Chain A
Amino acid sequence: MLKKLTDFVRGSQVWKSIFRHGPPTTARNRAMVMLANVFLHLHPVRARASGIRLSFTWCMGGLTFFLFLVETVTGILLMFYYRPVAASAFNDIVALREDVPLGIMREIHRWGAHAMVITVWLHMFRVFMTGSYKPPREFNWGIGVVLLVVTLLLSFTGYLLPWDQLAIWAVTVGTNMARAHPAIGHEGPGSNLLVIDDIQFVTSGDDIRYALLGGRFVGEGTLLRFYVLHCIAVPVIAMVLMAVHFWRVRKDGGISGPL
C-alpha cells in the first residue's frame, strides 16, 4: 500500500518536473541526483571511500557550513525583533526570551556561533593532521585560514549587539587594540611622529579605532556599525570566500587522500 503510494508520487509529473529523474534506487539515478540538484552538485557523484569516512574528516568542515546556515536563519528571525539603537537594543534582547513562548531563538544563535568557532578550529586541526594543505591544496588552505578569521569576526561583531555590560566591555577590550595599530592608531608606534606644524594627524578623533567604533568609545555609533558588519558585510565576505573554498575543494581533487 505504502509502496504503491510512493511509487505513484515518484512516478508523477510533478515529481519528475522537480527532480528531473526517478527515485535514487538505481546507480544511474543516484548519479543523477548529484548532477541535477543545484545544492547537491557541490558534491561529486563518486568519492573515495576512505575520504568520506567520518573518522577521517570528522565532518567538521561540513558542520561549520551547516552552522553558518543555522546562524543565517536564526539571525534573520532575530533581525525582525531587534533594533540596533542604544535605547531599545537591550530591551529587545530581553524581550526575545521573556515575551516569546519557548523563546530560544537567541540561544540557538549564540550557542551556534560558539559551536561554529569550535568546529572551524577542529576543521583546521584535521586538515593539518592529514597534511591536506599540501599541493595542490595550498591556496585553499589559505582561503580556509581567512575564513577562520572571518568566523571569529562574525562572532565578535555579534557580541556587542545585546548591549549589556558583557557586550560593551568585551568589545571595548577587543577594539582597544586598534588604537595601538602602527601609524594609524593614535597610540601606535610612529603615529605621534606624523605631525606638521604642531598639528597631530593621528588622534583619538580620527584614527583607525575611531573608524571602527564610529566614535571615541563604544557607543551608539558602534552599535550600528557592528550591526551592519555583523548582518551584512562580514556574512557577504564569508559567503564569497566559502564559494571559493568549496569550488577549490572540488577543483583540487576533492577530499584529500594518499597520492
Chain B
Amino acid sequence: MLETIDGIFNFLTRPEIVFPGAFVLLYLSLRYARVWTRPPIALGIGVFLAALFVYSCAPGVGIAEGHEQFVESAAKADNVPITMMLGLLYFFFWLSLRKAVVNDERIEKGLPPVEADEKSRKVLVWPDLVYTELIAMVGVTVVLIVWALLLPAPIEEPANPGRTPNPAKAPWYFLGLQEMLVYFDPWLAGILIPALIMVGLICIPYIDRNPKGNGYYTLKERYGAIFVFLFGFLVLWVLQVFIGTFLRGYGWNFFGVYEKWDVNKVEPLLNIDVSEIFYVKMLGMYEPENTLVRELPGILLVLGYMTVLPVLFAVTKGKKLFRELGAVRFGIMVNLGLIMLAVPIKMVLRWLFNLKYIVNIPEWQLNI
C-alpha cells in the first residue's frame, strides 16, 4: 500500500510532471486564494505538508531505501536551510495572500485596504519599531546559536582536485541554475539567464505601470503581475532548487523523491537538433553541408520568436497594452517575458521531442 503511494510520488516528482503540476498548483492557489487562505484550511494544508515531510523522513516504511535516500539529502547540513526555507515560504506565501484577500474583500465593499485605515495614525519609532527590531534580533540570535550548537558546519575530506565527487553540486542557492544546464548550454544557463534574471527584476517597476496596489497587499488589483512574479520565483527558481537538491543524483540523473540513487543508471541520449527534425524527419533528405544553411530553420525560429511574436502581439491581443506602455517599454517587457517563457518551452520540447539544440553552430561555439 505505502509502496504504491511512494511509487505515485516518484511519478509525480518527475520533471515533466512536477513542473506543469507546480504551474497548475500556483494558478489554482491564486485563483482560489479566497478559499484556501482561510486560517483553518491553510493550517490543515500546512499540517499535511509537515506530515508529508515527517513521512518522507520515516525509516522502514514504503520504499524503505528511497526514504533513506531522502533523509540523506535532507539531513546534509547544508541542505537543512532548504527545508527551513520551504517551510517559511509556505507560511509567508499564505500570509501575503491572506492579507491580500482580506484587502480585496474590503475594496469590493468600497472600503480602503487595512493599511490605509491606519494611514494617518503615526506612532513614535521609539519604542514601537525599535523594540520590535530588538526582539527580532534577539530571536534570530537565539535561533542561530541553537542551530549552531545542534548542527556542526559541514567539513568533508581535504580538497582533492583529482577526485570528482558524484554528483558535484553547486551551493544550494545556485542549484536552479545548475538544473538549467540540463536544458541549456553553459553560456545560456550560467551567464545569460542569470544576467537577464537580474535585469528583468530591475526592470519590473518600469514595466509594471499599474498604479494600484502600491504599499498594501492585494491580489485582485495586480493579478497578472503577481502571477508572473510568483511563477518566476516559486516555479522557475525555488522548485528548481528543490529538484537540484532532492531529485538529482549520480551523474546528475533524475531520481524520484523516494527512489534510491542508482550509480549505474544510464539515460540513453537520443537528443536531436532542430536541423535534424527539419531536414531529415520532415523533408526526408540529408542535412546540408553548409552550417548556416543547416541551421537556418533554427535561426529563423529563434529570430522569429524574438521579433515576430512581439509585433504580432502588439497588433492583436496586446494592442491596448502597447498603447499604454509605448513601444520601448512594450518591447522590453515582451522580450523579457519571451525569454522567461523560453525556459519552460525548451524544457517541454526536451520532454516531448528529446530536442537538444535549436541552433547548433560548433564553429562559433554557439548553441541555443
Q: Check: B34 CB closer than 8 A to any chain A CB.
A: no
Quick check: B169 and A90 within 8 Å, CB to CB?
Answer: no
Convert A39-55 into 0s and 1s, putting 1 for each residue whose CB lies closer than 8 angstroms to a CB of B: 01001111111111011
- Is there a chain A Cβ closer than 8 Å to B346's Cβ? no
CB within 8 Å of A: which B265-303 residues: none
Bitwise, B174-193 to A at CB < 8 A (1) or not (0) is: 10011000000111011110
Q: Contact partner of A59 among B136, B145, B164, B364, CB < 8 A?
A: B136
Chain A residue at minimal CB-CB distance from B97: A129
| Minimum Cβ distance to chain B for residue A150 (Å) | 11
A165 to B63, CA, bound (A): 31
Find out whether the CB atom of B123 lies under 8 angstroms from the CB atom of A172. Answer: no
Residue of B nearest to A122 (CB): B92
- Say which residue of A132, A152, A168, A190 sits within 8 Å of B366 (CB atoms): A190
Contact B159–A163 (Cβ < 8 Å): yes
Contact at B170–A168, with CB atoms within 8 Å?
no
Minimal Cβ-Cβ distance residue in B for A138:
B205
Q: Mark A106-135, 1 if CB is under 8 A from B, else 0.
A: 111111101101100110011011111111
Evaluate contact between B174 and A134: CB separation under 8 angstroms.
no
From known contacts A118-B88, A187-B365, A189-B364, infer whether A170 and B171 are also in contact, taking CB-CB under 8 Å.
yes
What per-residue 1/0 map shows which CB atoms of B90-128 lie under 8 Å from chain A?
001001100110000000000011111111011111111
Q: Check A168/B161 contact, CB under 8 A, given A50-B114, A126-B96, A187-B365.
A: yes
CB of B16 within 8 Å of the partner chain? no
Set of chain B residues within 8 Å of A44, measured between Cβ atoms: 125
A contact residues around B78 at 8 Å (CB): 114, 166
> Which residue of chain B is the closest to A134 with respect to CB atoms?
B214
Given contacts A43-B125, A108-B144, contact A258 B116 (CB under 8 A): yes
Task: Kindly name the residue among B118, B143, B165 whose own CB sees the greatest number of chain A CB atoms within 10 A.
Answer: B118
The reply to whether A106 and B153 form a contact with Cβ atoms under 8 Å apart is: yes
Q: Does B148 contact A (CB under 8 A)?
A: yes
- Alpha-carbon gap, A170 to B244, bound state (A): 13
Stretch in B18-26, B215-223, B304-312, B337-345 touching the partner: B215-223
**Given that A33-B126, A141-B202 are contacting pairs, would A59 and B186 also be in contact in the complex, using a CB cutoff of 8 Å?**
no
Residue contact A156 to B152, C-beta cutoff 8 Å: no
Chain B, 114-166, CB within 8 A of any chain A CB? 114-119, 121-130, 132-133, 136-137, 140-141, 143-145, 147-149, 151-161, 163-165
Inter-chain contact B161/A177, CB cutoff 8 Å = no
Task: Decide if A131 touches B214 in the complex (CB within 8 Å).
Answer: yes
The stretch that binds B, out of A3-11, A61-69, A230-238, A239-247, is A61-69
- Distance of A219 Cα from B141 Cα, bound (Å): 35
Q: Which B residues touch A2, using CB under 8 A?
A: none
Q: Does A205 contact B (CB under 8 A)?
A: no
A30 within 8 A of B: yes
- Picked from B157, B158, B191, B365, the residue with its CB within 8 Å of the CB of A192 is B365
Chain B residues touching A, range: 35 or more
Interface size for A (C-beta < 8 A) is: 101
Interface pair B155/A93, CB less than 8 Å apart: yes
Q: Are B160 and A165 in contact (CB under 8 A)?
A: yes
Contacts of A174 in B (CB 8 A): 170-171, 174
* A180 and B186 within 8 A (CB): yes
Q: A125-B92, A189-B364 are in contact. Are A138 and B206 (CB under 8 A)?
A: yes
Find the B residue at minimum CB distance from A94: B155
A159 to B124, CA, bound (A): 42
Total of A-B residue pairs, C-beta within 8 Å: 284
Residues of B within 8 A of A76 (CB): none
Q: Provided the pairs A50-B119, A185-B187 are in contact, do residues A165 and B178 lie with their beta carbons within 8 angstroms?
A: no
| Residue among B149, B213, B214, B215 having the largest count of chain A Cβ atoms under 10 Å | B215
Chain B CB within 10 Å — which of A128, A132, A178 has the most? A128
Report chain B residues within 8 Å CB of A70.
141, 144
The answer to whether A67 touches B123 (Cβ under 8 A) is no
A228 within 8 A of partner (CB): no
Interfacial residues of chain B within 200-233, with CB under 8 A of chain A in the complex:
201-202, 204-206, 208, 210-218, 222, 226, 229, 233
Rounded to whole Å, the gap between the CB of B214 and the closest CB of chain A is 4
Q: Contact: A182 with B126, CB < 8 Å?
A: no
Q: A86-B159, A93-B155, A163-B158 are in contact. Are A137 and B129 (CB under 8 A)?
A: no
A-B CB proximity, top 7 nearest = A177-B190, A107-B148, A180-B186, A138-B205, A256-B215, A114-B81, A258-B116
Q: Which residues of A contact B (CB under 8 A)?
A: 24, 27, 30-31, 33-34, 40, 43-52, 54-56, 58-59, 62-63, 66-67, 70, 86, 90, 93-94, 97, 104, 106-112, 114-115, 117-118, 121-122, 125-126, 128-135, 137-138, 141-142, 145-146, 149, 152, 155-156, 159, 162-170, 172-174, 176-182, 185, 187-193, 217-219, 256-259
Interchain Cβ contacts under 8 Å between A and B, 21 examples: A30-B126, A49-B122, A52-B132, A56-B99, A56-B115, A90-B155, A94-B155, A108-B145, A112-B144, A115-B81, A115-B143, A132-B214, A141-B202, A155-B171, A165-B157, A168-B159, A168-B160, A170-B169, A192-B364, A256-B214, A259-B214
